[in-house]
Structure 1
Amino acid sequence: MHDGKDGFQVVTPLEREDGGTILVNRGWISRDKQYQRERDPSALPTGEITVQGLLREPLKKNMFTPKNKPEEGKFFFPDTYEMASVVGCEAVLVEETMKADLLESYRREEAGMPIGRAAEVNLRNNHTQYIFTW
């Protein structure tokens, strides 16, 4: 979900300069742009690219999450090891980030380009809890 709209996270393999391949979560696309033929050709990366991103701990599956269907290329939760075995790459998932820009997000959604999350790091802060504990 993104702004109340149903869609998908686009995860693609990225071949690095050293020859290794990793997975990159490029961001969200709307359900109506899920097939490449429905996207603007400029939405599909070609040639050499640079990815700026973060290594994040993957989301955990809960009791309501359906089972992944790797044989169909459908993953309902990001099982990095399972995705890597399907693609034949290292079990590393980098989340591509982008600046929070509403107009850029609209442009990307229209073209079928994935919309990445902002590069924010949320550290756990239990200071208030500690005050009451002690």
Structure 2
Amino acid sequence: MILPYATITIGARTQYVVKVSWEDYDFLMQWPWTYAVSHKGGGLVYARRSERIDGRNATILMHRVVIARMGLKRPSKKHFVDHWNGDSLDNRRIADDGRAQLRWVTPRQNMANQRGVINVPVAPKFQVVGEIPF
């Protein structure tokens, strides 16, 4: 069975699985990804990587890379990326219901979309790879 999306496992000791669209998978796999826990918004987990830019470490968030690849420019500095279904580790282009999964929103729009999704680490010995045997 082929999944309608690809997954990228991030983290070392504690691991999370990030959903991505197949058209972004190869591009994103060029770099090692880890995660960051947001201290705002209830401790959501986001896929991230670091890069040295102008002699300083910069954090690059996966959802910003994907939304840029989608060609969606940031309308203003007030806007930030919102995950339509509330799952901060779902960086697909399209959600299960056919809507855009990633979009630019204002803080007010984001508050209206709060769903309280909690990211749960994947237990490495129970991580499913390939088909589920039932």
TM-score (norm 2): 0.25
Point out which structure has higher relative CO (alpha carbons under 8 A, 6+ apart): 1
Higher strand share: 2
Higher Rg of the two aligned structures:
1
